Amino acid sequence: MAAQQFDTVVIGSGPGGYVAAIRAAQLGQKTAIIEREQLGGVCLNVGCIPSKAMISAAHFLHKAQHDAETMGIHFKDISVDYKQLLKWKTSVTEKMSGGVKQLLSGNTVTIIVGEAEFKSSKELSVKTATGTDIITAKNFIVATGSRPIEIPGFKFDEKEIMSSTGALAMDAAPKKLVVIGGGYIGLEIGGYLAKFGTEVTVVEAGPALLNGVVDPECAQVVARKLTKSGVKVLLNAKAKGQKKSGSGYEVTIEVGGKEETLKCDKILVTVGRKPNSDQSNLKAAGLQIDERGFIKVDAQRRTNVPNIFAIGDICGQPMLAHKASHEGVLVAEVISGKNRVYDAKTVPAVVFTDPEIASAGMMESECKAKGYNDLNIAKFPFGANGRAVSLLETDGFVKMIADAKTGILLGVHIVGPEASNLISEAVLAIEMGARVEDLALSIHPHPSLGETMMEAAEATIGHAIHIIQKPLSKSKEARV
Amino acid sequence: MATEVKLPELGEGVTEGELVKWLVKIGDTVKPDQPVCEVMTDKATVEVPTAVGGVVKELKFKLGDVIKVESTILTLDGAGSSASSAAPTHKEAPKAAAPAPTTAPSAPRSQPAAMPATMHEMMAQNSGIYPPVADSKVLATPSTRRLAREVGVDLNVMKGTGLAGRVTREDVLSQGGNGASTATSSNGSMKAPTFPVPSYQGPAGATEERVPLIGIRRKIAENMQMAKHIIPHFTLMDEAEVTELVSMRESLKDYAEKNGTKITYLPFVMKAMIASIRQFPMFNASIDDAAKEIVYKKYFNVGFAADTPQGLVVPVIKNADQKSLLELSYEIMDLSKRARDGKLKSDEMKGATITITNIGSVGGTYATPIINHPEVAILGMYKISDRLHLKADGSVGSQKVMNFTITADHRLIDGAVAANFLKAFIGKIQKPGLLMMEMR
């Protein structure tokens, strides 16, 4: 078969790759995208989207079981048809993946299903169902993502010893589950399984859940609620190994120098993800990989080989879908000759625990490291927000950090209902270089959870309305 | 650890220079004292050496950038050995009178930058990307950051005029034209006009050569564009009968030569023009657009256009009203020569209140000159020719005639005023004897 030629070939169709392909095609590049599995990558198929479907269902169940009675609504015989739930979850991912296919086709992107390997910096070989295609292009975008990290002694079978992929595919909630790794993926999956009745034990090697990745106070709120809902959390605990025991497993852990065993039916290992840089024969293209396995890129996401770009998880932290998409657009435009760089001030992060955590900008420790020594920090609790009370979702707060000298907003950390939807305002504010007053003076609709943003901003200045603060005259009003 | 090589002092009163040539490229190994680039100042082109040796890691500027003294021009990897001193070497040996660079950095400037390793990595990787990525502390909205990138403005060195130092869209646009990496705008509040930046693509395969628009050429381009943009020009043309002027100059030639100079028509034109300005002071003025005021100048600094191998430059004769014809001649000769040699000092090209262009010495009957903003007028003088003349007694004689133009800023000067000015000027240049009456 003759070599197919393109202007731009994208390898990987996750939220980085498919977005890059669409923008490249929009800009008139003859574009192809290569995907070895399903369009949409991990995010759409075995990551963000299906886990959110499961979390929504679990939340719904939890509300029906616990909050409905308070509101005077009584359900009889609530039961979970986990197989139907799984079907619905699959319909959600199929819908999204189908949407990606439509968008790619509509933008005249050639979709190639197969496994791509570099033969040189100008040429790929793609193993498809029917044979091997040779594909050449002026530019390549490597968007091949990451995969769950395996730890010694816990080889994934995705049935009983699972990564997130296996956990999302289970057709029933296990009775007892050990989650190794108290990061966001473990807590999201462990959290929703607990609501479906699984007895969950989280084994975290560090001193706290979500250690170092979110505001510690936010993490505390989630930890408290997890414990309250029956999830057992073991901190500073190392998983040493496992062995089959009856129909289940015994997991050996080490806490404070002592070994313990945990009995369970299934094991979920969520200790992180690693870039897929050992695949696609990147060496043949001459790409430089750093010691953590990320492809080295510059601010335009160009690799050391000028016609090859890398975006998303494969090129560095944070491994988040929205960062990948942003880079996808950026790179497609760079290829079209536009002067673009990655210069976003913040990548928001959201954790779909109960309650949700969302953050944008810097944590307090990061502000200090950046040289902001004089900070105004304030929190506004959801308990003081009318909408949160009427939702029966009063756990959590909005925390804002501002530079005391200029009033400029440096960080927003939310733990509470719809934190994931509330954070976008903070992202815009930070990108625009807003001062907290800008947020405080923008009229927020009542009653809404969004009011907490305005109030937290007011609290940062020193005079929120709906919590008791110092008199206005003595407050530390930010001045320029 | 990367070592930063900074632009050293280039000489007294020189705060910046324009990068005209890199003498090294990324990856080159340089020795202490080795010249790394050529920088053009108002005075001369200077080779800038590095104080330390190492491997060139990143070039911070591109050709044509105006670099401020003390800015980091490049970074070196593995820098170690340092030279005892690193004074810039002037390519042309400076004349004895020219101030030699007084201060030179005597120690290698290798203070470790206080930034986290990741940041360093990022910066190192960003070589070749211009402008550099804006630091997270830069206050500019995403769309402003993109605009800055597209017009080539480095936000890291810009001072924003917005609240809390926010860089506004206007700030970026006002910097956009010059593409300078180091912002040098002193009139922060004054918004410079912005111009479209069209690209040019020749037909495929056409034989064309591209050279960077830098140095004097770029300065000329910027000044002309600005002048034409701001000033509504109009030009009035007339001829003067200069038979008397020609014979007067002839009679003074020997005297001038004995005094070591050459007398041209320019000093006479200057004197006649200044005498005319005294009647029409609006020709020696400026418009302060920002303040919405007209500034009438009580001093007479006359610029004259000089054609040099590098391009047009305009030396200025300060207080021309207070100088004799002989003094003016000396000064014109001196300035012209040094203009041709590229040795004018920057303040010798600044501060004109009105300009004379003397394109007539080359050819052409009339031209429509461009005013040297912020001046409001430019006087043009053209070649002298002979013409037949019917005398009062009916006999035919010959006359010398010379064409003049006055180009004025119509915002300040009306057509009739310019006509009267030109008439007054021609009256004086036709009767140079009259000039004596007003001379001081």
Chain-chain contact of A299 with B129 (C-beta, under 8 angstroms): yes
Instruction: For residues A379 and A399, give the distance between their C-alpha atoms in angstroms, rounded to a whole number.
Output: 4
Q: For chain B, what is the total number of helices (H) and then of strands (E)? A: 9, 19
Whether the pLDDT of residue A428 is over 80: the answer is: yes
Length of chain B: 440
Between B129, B146, B164, which is nearest A408 by CB? B164
Q: Does ipTM come in above 0.85?
A: no
Tell how strand A161-162 and strand A110-113 pair up: unpaired
Would the CB atoms of B139 and A433 count as touching at under 8 Å? yes
Catalytic status, residue B410: yes
Is B142–A297 a contact, with Cβ atoms under 8 angstroms apart?
Answer: no
Domain extents for chain A? 4-53+82-148+274-335, 161-271, 355-460
**Mean per-residue pLDDT for A268-288?**
96
- In CATH, the number for domain A355-460 is 3.30.390.30
Question: Are residues A239 and A133 in contact, defined by beta-carbon separation less than 8 angstroms?
Answer: no
Q: Which two tokens stand for residue B343?
A: 């040795």
pLDDT surpasses 90 at B354: yes
Q: Do A369 and B134 touch (CB under 8 A)?
A: no
- Burial level of B152, CB count in 10 A (0-12/13-18/19+)? buried
Q: Among A439-453, B205-219, B269-283, name the one with the lowest average pLDDT.
A: B205-219
Average pLDDT of the segment spanning B262-282: 93
> Which CB contacts under 8 angstroms, 24+ apart, belong to B325-330?
B325/B252, B325/B263, B325/B267, B325/B268, B325/B271, B326/B256, B326/B259, B326/B261, B326/B263, B328/B266, B328/B267, B328/B270, B328/B271, B329/B256, B329/B261, B329/B262, B329/B263, B329/B264, B329/B267, B330/B260, B330/B261
pLDDT tens-digit series, residues A76-105: 999 999 999 999 999 999 999 999 999 999
Of residues B367, B387, B389, B386, the one with CA closest to residue B378:
B367
Report the predicted TM-score, pTM, of the whole model to 2 decimal places.
Answer: 0.62
pLDDT at A2: 67
Alpha-helical runs (H) found in A153-278: 164-169, 184-195, 216-228
Arithmetic mean of pLDDT, B61-77: 86
- Given pLDDT bands bounded at 50, 70 and 90, which one contains residue B47? confident
* pLDDT value at B191 more than 50: no
Rounded CA-CA distance A168/A238 in Å is 24
Chain B CB contacts of A344 under 8 Å are 142
Question: Given its phi and psi angles, is residue A225 left (phi above 0), alpha (psi -120 to 50 degrees) or beta?
Answer: alpha
Res B271 pLDDT > 80: yes
Give mean pLDDT, residues B245-274: 92
Give which of A341, A372, A435 to mutate to test B binding, by max B Cβ within 10 Å.
A341
pLDDT value at residue B3 = 82
Confidence check: pLDDT of A69 > 90: yes
pLDDT of A378: 95
Model confidence at B176, pLDDT cuts 50, 70, 90, reads: low
> In sequence order, what are the residues at sequence separation of 6 or more whose Cβ sits closer than 8 angstroms to the Cβ of residue B206?
none
Sequence length of chain A is 480
Phi, psi values for residue A133, rounded to 5°: -100, 145
- Residue B133 is nearest to which of A343, A370, A407, comparing CB atoms? A343
- For residue B115, the chain A residue with the least C-alpha distance is A370
Is residue B185 classed exposed, middle or buried when 0-12, 13-18 and 19+ CB atoms within 10 A define those classes? Answer: middle
Residue B181, pLDDT above cutoff 50: no
Q: Please state which of the ranges A39-48, B200-209, B250-259 shows the lowest mean pLDDT.
A: B200-209
**What pLDDT, in 10s, does the model give residues B283-321?**
999 999 888 889 999 999 999 998 888 788 899 999 999
pLDDT in tens, A210-248: 998 999 999 999 999 999 999 999 999 999 999 999 999
Chain B: residue whose CA lies nearest to A317? B118
Q: What is the mean pLDDT of residues B42-50?
A: 74
- CATH code for A4-53+82-148+274-335? 3.50.50.60
Output the pLDDT for position B55. Answer: 87
A431/B142 CB distance under 8 A: yes
Chain A residue closest in CA terms to B155: A343
Mean pLDDT taken over chain A: 94
| Least reliable range by pLDDT among A157-161, B325-329, B346-350 | B346-350
Mean pLDDT of A289-311: 96
- State the amino acid at position B193 in one-letter form: P
Considering only CB atoms, A298 lies closest to which of B126, B146, B164, namely B126
Scan residues 103-142 of B and list those with Cβ closer than 8 Å to A: 116, 122, 125-129, 133-134, 136-137, 139-142
Asked if pLDDT for residue A73 goes beyond 70, the answer is yes
Say whether A345 and B136 touch across the interface (CB within 8 A).
Answer: yes
Contact A370 B149 (CB under 8 A): no
Q: Taking the alpha carbons of B244, B247, B249, B255 in that order, is the dihedral positive or negative?
A: negative
In CATH terms, the fold of domain A161-271 is: FAD/NAD(P)-binding domain (3.50.50)
Interval B79-131: pLDDT, tens: 654 443 444 444 443 333 333 333 333 333 333 333 333 433 444 444 568 88
CB pairs under 8 A between A and B: 50
Non-local CB neighbours of A157 within 8 Å, separated by 6+ positions: A166
C-alpha–C-alpha distance, residues A266 and A163, integer Å: 11
Q: What is the largest CA-CA distance in chain B?
A: 95
Question: Mean pLDDT across the stretch A36-46?
Answer: 95
CATH topology match: A4-53+82-148+274-335 vs A161-271: yes
A471-475 mean pLDDT = 52
Q: Which tokens hold the place of A382?
A: 């959801």
Does residue B166 or residue B99 have the better pLDDT?
B166
pLDDT at B46 over 90: no
Instruction: Tell me the residue ranges of DSSP E strands in A108-174.
Output: 110-113, 115-120, 123-128, 131-142, 146-148, 161-162
Q: For residue B7, is pLDDT > 70? A: yes
- Looking at the partner chain, which of A296, A341, A406 has a beta carbon nearest the beta carbon of B129? A341
How far apart are alpha carbons A95 and A201 in whole angstroms?
Answer: 33
Q: Which of B119, B130, B133 to mutate to test the interface with A (most CBs of A within 10 A)?
A: B133
pLDDT of residue B70: 82
H or E element at residue A285: helix A282-285
